[in-house]
Structure 1
Amino acid sequence: MRENVWMKRALVLGILLFSAVSFAQTEPDSIALAKNEFEDHFFEALKQKGIENYDKAIVEIEKCLVSQPNNPVLHHELGKNFLALKKYPEAQRAFQKAVDLNPKERWYWNGLYDVFYETKDYQQSITVVQKLIGFDKNFQDDLVSLYMYTRQFDKALALIEEMERTSNISQMMETYKLQILSESQSRKPQKEQLEAAIVKYPQVEENYIQLIYLYSESNQEEKALEVAKKLEQNIPNSDWAQVSLFKFHLNNGNGEKAAQAMHIALNSSKIEPKIKHRILNEFLIFVNNTNAFDKELDKAVDYFGYDTSVNVAKEIGIFFRNKKKTDKAIHFFEKSLLKQKDDILVIELLLEAYADNNQFDKVSRKAEGFLELYPTHARLYFYAGLAQNQLKNYKKAIALLNSGMDFVVDDIDLEINFNIQLGEAYNGLGDQTKKYTHFNKAEQLLKQKK
Structure 2
Amino acid sequence: MNTEGQILRLMKRKIYITPLLFGLFLVSSLSYSQEQNTAEEDNASVYLEDYSDEFQEKFFEALKQKGIENYDKAIHLFLDCKKLDPETKAVDHELAKVYRETKQLDLAQDYAINAVNSDPENIWYLQNLVTILNLKQSGISEVASRIPSEDINLKQNLALVYYQMENYQSAIQVLNTLKNSAFTENLNSKLKMGLKEQEENTETFSFSTTVNSDSTTNETGTIDHYRYNIENIIRAKNFLILDTVAKEALENYPAQPYFYYARGLALNTKKRYREAASILEESLDYMLDDISLANKIYKELSTAYTGLNNSVKANIYLRKIRPGF
* Structure-1-length-normalised TM-score: 0.33
Which has the larger Rg?
1
Task: Name whichever structure is richer in helix by fraction.
Answer: 1
* Structure-2-length-normalised TM-score: 0.42
Higher relative contact order (CA 8 A, sep 6+): 2
